[in-house]
Structure 1
Amino acid sequence: MAAKQQEPRLSLKLLIDEERNRVVAAEAHKEFVEILFSFLTLPMGTVIRVTSSGGTKNAVKIGCMNNLCRVVEKLSNENWETENCKSMVLHPRNPLGNYCQKLKVNIDDSWSNTKYRCSWCCSRMSWYPNVSCTCGGKTSNHKITYGVNNEGAFLQKGRTMFIISDDLQIRPACPSVLARLLSNLGLSEMDGIREMLIEVSKEQVISLLARSLVSESPLSDVFLPNPTKHETKLPERTLQTTEQNEPPAPTPTPTPTPTLNLQVTLNKSTNKLLFAKATNEFFDFLCTFLTIPVGSIIHVLKRNLGGFGGCIYNLYTSVEELEDKWFGSCLKSAILNPQIAQYHNCKKQPLKLDELIESKLLLDPRPNQNFAGEPLLFIVLDNLDVKPLSSASSSLILRELKVPFRDVEDQVITVGMNEALSLLKAALTSPSSALTNGLASFLQKKKKKQEA
């Protein structure tokens, strides 16, 4: 019987404040830092799936996103343009997945280096079988697997050590950096600081991902039994990250922002949105909430994260503040905005997020570039529960809402860039009222204009 392959692990040195039972810092080589940076490349759908795969231990509640994932999973295949479309939203591809394959411990299961070749021509391929080709053929079960080289993932070669704070601020190791970090935590000397060498497992990496989204002390949470909860005072961050002598980048020519029309029904007394009647285009837009990587979410929200992310923003600013020389070619900007994997965007994207084109020979698994079949109408509830209008019982929905009919009002809102940003932020931070928190203020402004 073949020997069971040993799970890869990484060495990590923890510095522990024994009196307060907390990790004050960790020292690690670039391989561990690359794993932390990879969290920014993961699509939100992957984050939810990976952290939920081990049961309740690592599961995190991210606004209404978990609910949206459950909705997508429950929708029958007849509501999708093809079966592949549902799979793409539930298992969105990491646009930088080829780099994540080089990590010493890789928790990203969204990326495959296997493609299916068209049965008629030899040039067009897809990640999925049975995809129609432009030549009239279909991708067959003939798989082509490409190798992945074993060179470094995101950072340049070398054995440089890094200092990682408990709230995931990362700097190249230096005694003065460590002294400043310990001083900020109220420590004046190394007495009382215990060093502990550990081997980090894949399960612990998943736990770190989960805790980084909800906690300010993920290292303590994962590696110490019953850690002392403490508030970490985060340093002030400046929005300016370019060198002072660097000339400003040229202003690109603006392109029109796609918009979506959405009919919403609200409770007039409370100004709470009860539900929305949405087209397949708006449903496709909601699907992209699960295909956008974490780094691109932070990028598009312009740091206006509200209650989202625990200390994941510290990871983001650590990438920003590290000098370009530490990264492979163009990888710093790629981590900060991985974009959306090819064919994982919607036709009308008010967030103006682009796809990262992997190959011009790849076929779109969606014949009409839609996730949902068309034409379709959906009922979207305030918590982003989505029901096809064909199967949703109008009487049941009204019964459950328990709102007097005279207190119900319909309005149409145009979802442009600002509305889309507000809705995305609400979906990440509000556990039950994404529509209300994301769109109510825009409805109020519209109403005031109408009354003026």
Structure 2
Amino acid sequence: MENKINLKALVDKGSNKVIFIESDSAFVDVLLSFLTIPLGTILKLGREYSAPVEIGCMNNLYSSVEEIDVRKLGSDTCREMLLLPHNAAEFLIKNLVLQIDRNAKPIRYFVCCLQTTRKLFSYNHGTKSPGCCLETTRKFFSYNHGTQSPGCGHDMYQEITFSVDVASAFVTESARLLITDDLQLISPFNESIVSLFTNLGVTNRNATEELNLNIGVDEVMNLLINSLLSRTPLTETLLKHKPVAERSNENNYQAIHIDPQTVGETVLTEEDNISIKLIISKSKNIVCYAEAGEDFVNLLFSFLTLPLGFVAKQIQDGSLKGCIDQLYRSVQDLDAQHLKSNHHKEMLVNPKLAPGFCYNSLLGIEVASYYYLNSRLTTDSSLIPSNSSLESFKIEPTNCVSSAGGFLKGPAFFTVTDNLVVRPISTIFELSVLEKLNVPFTDTEKRVVLMGKKEALNLLVASFASDSALTNAFISEPYQA
């Protein structure tokens, strides 16, 4: 029988809207796990649940990866890495009461199977030891059974797992929080009932009613979709029982101002920037398409590997249809008493890439560090003995997409439309794009732009929030608060 979570909801009878729900740690953990899910996984899940969601231009990126010729990919695994990206917090969310990714294969981790207790010597100076790679300074693991270790040359057959407290994922087991319709998390101990109701616009307690609701994985999936499309996702999910209408074709994007403190002070050399050629309609002031090399398309494809919380982190003073940014800010402000540790909070407000998915140098996202401690894996560096170096416990993947190599073979050139349909460069395809936009040749001009970190982050947010990503990232004036 499918697991269920019981929720208590306070509903406004007149408007038939959820005012807030009251929940224990089981549902809060499920809700917070949204921030760790890679965008590519969300798109995959939407298709599996027959509830595809239009997240800006991300669907076009996903379809472009599906359709690209395998000969243009850097390796046989690159397509799967983009369409089924790993979640760096998978070891926590696999124990949630409700699992929305029901068909997902669990991520497995392998090391070479020689015992660390085996001691070896040689009669000759400088002989290579056949010992386990876990005995060396640099340690390796593989996601695949039988991969040869670059550390010691032995095949990796021994499976290792994470140390996990299965009682709860991110919040303490005793945590109880109120969750408003727009996904604000409120501690019931921090506000009086009067101030709570006032802030939520409740003027007449008699106009409300309490409901007991049981939700399963279908409702959780709908909630995830609705959190991206609606400002009232709990009402849409719990009372209307269906996803809201897909995003319309009209441009709902308001250009986002990126705070320089968020972007960081990374200094880029000329070689670090990515050059792209934009074909612009002079009369419409839109980007019709871009011509670019594999470095730009690598960056675009890497968006699919990013956790949802990383995108929410970049949104400053923006206007999105959904409220996932509201959930992110609530976690930032959540009292420490509700979270299991600062490390668990960090996994939500600064979500990282899983090791091996590291083509994101321009975006500034970090790769999660895995440590091998007491024959298990952990991401919590505070568990490492204070008299030891972190590097001595760090364990790295063998199959890493490097920032130099990326997902695509090079050199290669591509045509990229304003809504991020990616095709191998083609004059015929470009002509069809101009015809569809009703833009004559005489109305176009070329403009070469260089992308650094700030431009890459603007493009990421535009891709998530708009169906005209190139125009909004490179032509529109940024919104100033």
Provide the TM-score with structure 1 as the length reference. 0.81
Q: CA deviation at 1:417?
A: 2.1
CA shift in 2, pair 1:206/1:122, >3 Å: farther
Specify the alignment match of 1:155 in structure 2: 171
Q: Is the 8 A contact 2:111 2:160 kept in 1?
A: no
Q: 1:312 aligns with which of 324, 333, 348?
A: 324
CA shift in 2, pair 1:32/1:268, >3 Å: same
Specify the alignment match of 2:108 in structure 1: 114
Q: Describe how 1:46-445 pairs up with structure 2 within 5 A.
A: 46-56=41-51, 59-108=52-101, 112-117=106-111, 123=133, 124-128=140-144, 133-134=149-150, 142=157, 144=159, 146=161, 148-158=164-174, 160-174=175-189, 176-225=191-240, 254-256=266-268, 258-301=272-315, 303-307=316-320, 310-329=322-341, 330-346=343-359, 349-358=361-370, 360-366=395-401, 369-389=405-425, 392=426, 394-402=427-435, 403-431=439-467, 433-441=468-476
**1:395-416 deviation digits (Å, cap 9, x = unpaired):** 3421441343333322221001
In 1, distance between residues paired with 2:190 and 2:320? 33
SS in 2 for 1:103: coil
In 1, distance between residues paired with 2:268 and 2:340? 34
Q: Is the 8 A contact 1:384 1:434 kept in 2?
A: yes
In 1, distance between residues paired with 2:57 and 2:78? 21
SS in 2 for 1:134: coil
Once the two structures are overlaid, the 10-residue window that deviates more, 255-264 or 16-25, is 255-264
Q: Is the 8 A contact 2:289 2:416 kept in 1?
A: yes
Q: CA deviation at 1:271?
A: 2.8
Specify the alignment match of 2:17 in structure 1: 22
CA shift in 2, pair 1:156/1:82, >3 Å: same
Once the two structures are overlaid, the 10-residue window that deviates more, 120-129 or 60-69, is 120-129
Q: Is the 8 A contact 2:171 2:339 kept in 1?
A: yes
In 2, distance between residues paired with 1:122 and 1:107? 38
In 2, distance between residues paired with 1:50 and 1:97? 15
| CA RMSD after TM alignment | 3.0
In 1, distance between residues paired with 2:131 and 2:445? 55
Q: Is the 8 A contact 2:109 2:143 kept in 1?
A: yes
In 2, distance between residues paired with 1:270 and 1:137? 59
In 2, distance between residues paired with 1:87 and 1:139? 23
Identity %: 30
In 2, distance between residues paired with 1:135 and 1:333? 31
SS in 2 for 1:191: helix
**1:231-287 deviation digits (Å, cap 9, x = unpaired):** xxxxxxxxxxxxxxxxxx9xx975447421112222233332121122111111111
Q: CA deviation at 1:189?
A: 4.0
In 2, distance between residues paired with 1:385 and 1:130? 37
Once the two structures are overlaid, the 10-residue window that deviates more, 149-158 or 373-382, is 149-158
Q: Is the 8 A contact 1:126 1:139 kept in 2?
A: no
Kindly provide the amino acid, as one letter, of the partner of residue 384 in structure 1: L
Kindly provide the amino acid, as one letter, of the partner of residue 316 in structure 1: Y
Q: CA deviation at 1:225?
A: 3.7
**Matched residue pairs, number?**
406
Q: CA deviation at 1:217?
A: 1.2
| Structure 2 unaligned spans of 5+ | 114-129, 134-139, 245-260, 371-393
**1:175-217 deviation digits (Å, cap 9, x = unpaired):** 9454434333443343232222122101111111111111111
CA shift in 2, pair 1:178/1:32, >3 Å: farther
Specify the alignment match of 1:38 in structure 2: 33
Q: Is the 8 A contact 1:97 1:108 kept in 2?
A: no
CA shift in 2, pair 1:400/1:275, >3 Å: closer
CA shift in 2, pair 1:132/1:172, >3 Å: same
Once the two structures are overlaid, the 10-residue window that deviates more, 33-42 or 325-334, is 325-334
CA shift in 2, pair 1:82/1:267, >3 Å: same
**1:75-106 deviation digits (Å, cap 9, x = unpaired):** 13212111211111111111122121232213
Kindly provide the amino acid, as one letter, of the partner of residue 305 in structure 1: G
In 2, distance between residues paired with 1:295 and 1:438? 20
SS in 1 for 2:33: helix
Provide the TM-score with structure 2 as the length reference. 0.76
Q: CA deviation at 1:19?
A: 2.4
CA shift in 2, pair 1:336/1:268, >3 Å: same
CA shift in 2, pair 1:226/1:298, >3 Å: closer
| Structure 1 unaligned spans of 5+ | 1-5, 230-248, 444-452
**1:39-67 deviation digits (Å, cap 9, x = unpaired):** 111111112222332113xx321111111
